[in-house]
């Protein structure tokens, strides 16, 4: 007899535990404001990433098309993946001295793991992380970027 | 030829592949099962499907570059992986980091442990057929990832600890956000119990399944929550305190039943403990720098160095042999997942396939951590 009672009480207890779980599901079912899903990509216009978000490496230029990069190559050395290539050129200054300037700052986004070491180690704060995150392109050659703009030159007063 | 007796059914052992693409093996783990009917006689784990040669790659990287790579091993406890390498390098150089760095590292480790256990909880429910848990666990994990993203700019592979300190100082909103999260999660964690722990189906599938005695746990080197569920007190935070763990008081979550349910409950207990640790530290972060001035080229003195931390899965160690150059001569990781996996065949012997899934889920395996 007791076995039957145990069986019945087990069944009832089991149903009770299931109802406990269903209560939570029901609670959220009737409270749609607690839904946390982001409606991406519909919210693209209003979506803002955090200011420190590491999206890709960029080189900021001012309105005179000037950047702060001296071409020292520390970012190239500190990169663990070899995703930065620095190509420098030598120019002759009016006073006859030779000066090394940056020709191309090549950045391979496809090889970058966004570890922030280049930005951290840059002595002249020339490169920063941008907050972009939609990096998909049709062809992988588009992932290789030249960060300094054509015709740009180094800003006045950057220590070398 | 003699005819077989008609009233006796001949059975024989047969082999079945589980994985490498099986959803309950959490990645690319291949288990070769030796079965008789539905009963598991032997489990033979075949690893190496996601082997990425991280130990070998570390030999060609300089010391400051190594922590970024360790994030990719046990991606669910990424911060502990960085921390262990940083601690090892700092100890070798004799660098003492400021208290502020220690406090922030500990808070990050505990947040990471919470995030890892949340994901484990949702996947455990999903493996046992309760898909709902997946959404609730990820909902709460998202809050932690937002905290990470605001302070260090990444969600999963943080790269926040670097040798000699931290990548950035904490964000001004950090403390407020952590407080908000703790208040939020204190209300949500009982929901986990209501949703899954008390569930009759879950209880039936985990209670008494895969019992693993304490001696076997020690012999196989099972650490972390899986080891503590069998009564093996192995918390590195308690026995060999590092960072800010000497300054906090917390209970080591122990259980002596050693079954799947115990492994589950130890992790739920750990979540409460993690929250209490964060609460003790978050308002007392000392002022100061977050970065010790290091040399441009970090070179470790010749010798052998070892450091352990408690990751979300257990005892995580790094062993560096240095020959005085700027990159290590040899670097070896002692990953908890590898040792925990080695005990799987002993744990699941004699149980059914469905129990094997529950046992494996309770071990909380992360495959890149095993393969490295």
Q: Write down all domains in chain B, each with its CATH number in brackets.
A: 51-371 (1.10.645.10)
Contact A81, A38 (CB under 8 A): no
Burial A57-74 (b: 16+ CB within 10 A, else e): bbbebeeeeebbbbbbbb
Which domain covers residue A111, as residue numbers? Answer: 56-154
Per the listing, tokens 């690893």 go with: B47
> What gap in Å lies between CA A147 and CA A86, rounded to an integer?
10
Q: Which of A90-94, A97-101, B8-12 has the lowest mean pLDDT?
A: B8-12
Asked if B194 lies within 8 A of A20 by C-beta distance, the reply is: yes
- Give yes or no for B189 touching A (CB within 8 A): no
pLDDT of residue A44: 87
Per the listing, tokens 């269903």 go with: A22
- Give yes or no for B197 touching A (CB within 8 A): no
One digit per residue, the tens of pLDDT, for chain B of length 372 reads 555 566 666 778 888 888 787 776 777 888 899 988 888 999 998 888 888 889 999 999 999 899 888 888 888 889 999 999 999 999 999 888 999 999 999 999 999 999 999 999 988 888 888 888 888 888 889 899 999 999 988 888 888 998 888 888 888 888 999 999 999 999 988 888 888 888 888 888 888 888 889 999 999 999 989 999 998 988 898 899 988 899 999 888 888 888 899 999 999 999 999 999 999 999 988 998 888 888 878 888 899 999 999 999 889 999 999 998 888 999 999 989 899 999 988 988 889 988 888 898 888 888 888 888
Domain identity same for A25 and A96: no
Give the residue from chain B lying closest to A121, CA to CA: B296
Which residues lie across from B291 on neighbouring strands?
Answer: B165
Asked if A52 lies within 8 A of B152 by C-beta distance, the reply is: yes
Domain identity same for A83 and A146: yes
Contact B363, B210 (CB under 8 A): no
Three-point CA angle B332, B335, B339, nearest 5°: 120
ipTM score for this prediction: 0.86
Which residue of B69, B142, B167 is in closest CB contact with A120?
Answer: B167
Which residues in chain B are contacts of A114 at CB distance < 8 A? 154
How many folded domains does chain A comprise? 2
Asked whether residue A159 is assigned to any structural domain, the reply reads no
Which residues in chain B are contacts of A18 at CB distance < 8 A? 199-201
Asked if B154 lies within 8 A of A54 by C-beta distance, the reply is: yes
pLDDT of residue B6: 60
Asked whether residue A51 is assigned to any structural domain, the reply reads no
- Give yes or no for B157 touching A (CB within 8 A): yes
Contacts of residue B207, defined as CB under 8 A and 6 or more positions apart, other chains included, come to B259, B260, B261
Contact B47, B29 (CB under 8 A): yes
Asked whether residue A41 is assigned to any structural domain, the reply reads no
Rg of chain A over Cα atoms, rounded to whole angstroms, equals 29
**Six-digit token string for A140:** 């992988």
* A contact residues 120-159, partner B, Cβ 8 Å cutoff: 120, 129
> What gap in Å lies between CA B348 and CA B361, rounded to an integer?
12
Number of CB pairs < 8 Å for A and B?
65
Domain identity same for A126 and A68: yes
Asked whether residue A117 is assigned to any structural domain, the reply reads yes
Give the residue from chain B lying closest to A56, CA to CA: B153
Asked whether residue A160 is assigned to any structural domain, the reply reads no
Asked whether residue A87 is assigned to any structural domain, the reply reads yes
pLDDT of residue B85: 92
Asked whether residue A106 is assigned to any structural domain, the reply reads yes
- Using 50, 70 and 90 to split pLDDT, how confident is the model at A41? confident
Asked if B149 lies within 8 A of A129 by C-beta distance, the reply is: no
CA nearest neighbour of B120 among B96, B142, B146, B141: B141
For residue A120, give the CATH number of its domain.
3.30.70.3270
Asked whether residue A147 is assigned to any structural domain, the reply reads yes
pLDDT of residue B2: 58
pLDDT of residue B3: 58
Which residues in chain B are contacts of A116 at CB distance < 8 A? 153, 159, 167
Which residues in chain B are contacts of A54 at CB distance < 8 A? 153-154
Note the Cα A77 to chain centre separation in Å: 20
Asked if B171 lies within 8 A of A52 by C-beta distance, the reply is: yes
pLDDT digits (tens, 9 = 90+) for A13-35: 889 888 888 888 888 889 888 87
């Amino acid at each position: 007899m007791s076995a039957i009672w145990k069986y019945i009480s087990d069944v009832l207890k089991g149903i009770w535990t299931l109802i406990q779980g269903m209560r939570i599901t029901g609670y959220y079912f009737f409270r749609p404001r607690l839904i946390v899903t982001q409606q991406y990509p519909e919210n693209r216009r209003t979506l803002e990433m955090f200011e420190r978000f590491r999206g890709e490496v960029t080189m900021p230029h001012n309105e005179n098309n000037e950047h702060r990069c001296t071409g020292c190559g520390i970012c190239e050395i500190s990169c663990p993946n070899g995703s930065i290539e620095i190509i420098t050129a030598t120019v002759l200054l009016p006073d006859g001295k030779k000066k090394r300037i940056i020709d191309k700052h090549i950045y391979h986004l496809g090889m970058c793991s966004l570890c922030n070491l280049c930005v951290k180690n840059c002595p002249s704060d020339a490169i920063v992380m941008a907050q972009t995150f939609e990096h998909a392109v049709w062809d992988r050659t588009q992932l290789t970027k030249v960060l300094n703009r054509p015709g740009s030159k180094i800003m006045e007063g950057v220590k070398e | 030829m003699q005819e077989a007796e008609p009233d006796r059914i001949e059975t024989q052992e047969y082999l079945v592949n589980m994985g490498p693409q099986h959803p309950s093996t959490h990645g690319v783990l291949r288990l070769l099962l030796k079965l008789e009917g539905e009963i598991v006689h032997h489990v033979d784990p075949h690893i190496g499907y996601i082997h990425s040669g991280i130990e070998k790659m570390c030999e060609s990287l300089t010391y400051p570059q190594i922590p970024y790579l360790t994030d990719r091993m046990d991606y669910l406890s990424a911060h502990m992986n960085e921390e262990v390498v940083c601690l090892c390098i700092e100890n070798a150089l004799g660098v003492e980091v400021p208290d502020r760095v220690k406090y922030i590292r500990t808070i990050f480790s505990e947040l990471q442990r919470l995030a890892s256990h949340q994901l484990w909880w949702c996947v455990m429910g999903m493996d046992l057929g309760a898909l709902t848990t997946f959404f609730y666990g990820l909902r709460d994990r998202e809050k932690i990832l937002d905290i990470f993203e605001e302070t260090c700019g990444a969600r999963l592979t943080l790269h926040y600890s670097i040798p000699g300190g931290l990548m950035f100082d904490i964000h001004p909103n950090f403390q407020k956000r952590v407080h908000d999260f703790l208040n939020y999660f204190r209300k949500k964690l009982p929901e986990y119990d209501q949703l899954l722990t008390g569930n009759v189906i879950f209880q039936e599938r985990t209670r008494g399944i895969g019992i693993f005695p304490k001696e076997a746990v020690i012999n196989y080197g099972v650490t972390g929550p899986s080891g503590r569920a069998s009564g093996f007190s192995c918390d590195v935070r308690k026995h060999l305190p590092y960072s800010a763990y000497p300054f906090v008081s917390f209970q080591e979550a122990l259980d002596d039943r050693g079954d799947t349910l115990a492994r589950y409950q130890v992790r739920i207990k750990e979540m409460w403990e993690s929250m209490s640790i964060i609460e003790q530290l978050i308002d007392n972060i000392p002022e100061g720098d977050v970065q010790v001035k290091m040399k441009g080229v970090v070179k470790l003195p010749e010798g052998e160095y070892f450091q352990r931390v408690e990751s979300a899965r257990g005892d995580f160690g790094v062993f560096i042999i240095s020959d005085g150059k700027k990159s290590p001569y040899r670097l070896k990781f002692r990953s908890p997942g590898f040792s925990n996996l080695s005990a799987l065949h002993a744990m699941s012997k004699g149980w059914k396939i469905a129990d094997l899934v529950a046992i494996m889920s309770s071990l909380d395996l992360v495959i890149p951590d095993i393969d490295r």
